[in-house]
Amino acid sequence: MRRSWVDFVRKVSSLPAVAQVLACLLPSLDRWWFRLSRGRQTLTGLLAGLPVAMVTTIGAKSGRIHTTPLLPIIDPNQPGKIALIATNFGQERYPGWYFNLKRNPQAECVLNGARRSYLAREARDTEYERYWQLAEQTFPGYRLYRQRIRTRHIPILILEPVADYSTSQGATSRSDAPESDS
């Protein structure tokens, strides 16, 4: 019974009219349920059986802190990274969090009760395709979103844990940096 309910909720939530309503209501309801459950669950998790990360960003224009519940895509081969798909529930406009992370790539995420700091970057080429496949496996509604979004590219942002980011990007750590002459 539970599995058929989850499948039904996932299918209905992908429909254009329902997705448009959810885009307006669901983030607030998820934040409310997350607080009510003391950080243990979101409404999306409860009804659709989907994972949700509470992603905190700095506003691109306002500079204010924003927390948005988002569906994290996790590659089992790289479990420390989180991919976020900027479909905005299949709408033509980009989600606000996308602009926030492009302007200020620092983010904090709460996922499965763990809070971590991340740096965001945009996925490209084979990495993009890999995460898109994982996204469709996680939530088949992404296929429908892609069909509806015709006027823009759907970005995928990769969030890498801050400690992992510097080593994967080839940055030098403080102890490895050459000493200055002055």
Q: Which two tokens stand for residue 59?
A: 């506003």
pLDDT (0 to 100) of residue 24: 86
Tell me what pLDDT residue 131 has.
Answer: 98
Structural domain count of the chain: 1
* Region of poorest pLDDT, from 2-6, 36-40, 43-47, 65-69: 2-6
Task: Evaluate whether 107 touches 57 at the Cβ level (below 8 Å).
Answer: yes
State the CB neighbour count (10 A cutoff) for residue 128.
17
Q: Number of H helices and number of E strands within the chain?
A: 7, 7
* Most confident stretch, 35-44, 111-120, 158-167, 168-177: 111-120
Structural domain includes residue 59: yes
pLDDT of residue 8: 83
Amino acid at position 169, single letter:
Q
Q: How confident is the model at residue 180 (pLDDT cuts 50, 70, 90)?
A: very low
- pTM for the predicted model, two decimal places: 0.83
Domain residues for 145?
A: 2-164
Q: What is the pLDDT of residues 127-163, one digit of tens each?
A: 999 999 999 999 989 999 999 998 999 999 999 999 7
Q: Is the dihedral of CA 125, 87, 111, 66 positive or negative?
A: positive
Domain membership of residue 177 (yes or no) is no
Find the CATH number of the domain harbouring 130: 2.30.110.10
Asked if the model's pLDDT at residue 166 lies above 70, the reply is no
Reported as a single tens digit per residue, the pLDDT across 44-92 is 888 888 999 999 999 999 999 999 999 999 999 999 999 999 999 999 9
Report if residue 169 sits inside a domain: no
Higher pLDDT, 172 or 43: 43
